[in-house]
Amino acid sequence: MSPATIFNIHLVLGYVPWLLCFGAYIWPRLKLMDRVEAHRAIATLHSFRFFGLVFLLPGVVGPDLPAGFAVFAAYGDFATGLLAMLALLAARRPSIFWPLVVTFNLVGIADLVVDYYHGSVLHLPELAGQLGATYAIPILYVPLLMITHVTALYL
């Protein structure tokens, strides 16, 4: 099996266990929570997206990882993480909290969609080995991020 095929299988199947876990354990709890608390829980998860800057670290990613992918992925994650942190800091001020919640979720979704687009256009599946230590991010972390962004907008 080619590396591109394995990467694409990983991308698709990364959603399956998260959707199963989300449906069984996370969604039932989020539905019972106060709206602010549910959004704070989601923002807490997304506040760790500052870690996306790792796509810019030589030695962590391969030298042939397309800059067109790495730069957008890194700074989109960073911006989303900072916005999520600001939302958490503003949780006691609804007039600031809610616009930040909407903003970090829209920026986060846009970031992930643009990353999928850039990955496709730049043939990232064929270069999946260039992701190096960051390989787990699109496979394990991104599906949960997308699911929780959609959930946040639904709530």
Distance, in Å, from the CA atom of 152 to the CA atom of 43, rounded to the nearest integer, reads 9
pLDDT for res 3: 87
**What is the sign, positive or negative, of the torsion defined by CA atoms of 71, 72, 75, 77?**
negative
Distance, in Å, from the CA atom of 137 to the CA atom of 131, rounded to the nearest integer, reads 9
Q: Of the candidates 55, 54, 48, which has an alpha carbon nearest to the alpha carbon of residue 145?
A: 48
Domain ranges of the chain: 3-154
pTM, two decimals, is: 0.90
List pLDDT tens digits, range 84-142.
999 999 999 999 999 999 999 999 999 999 999 999 999 999 998 999 989 999 999 99
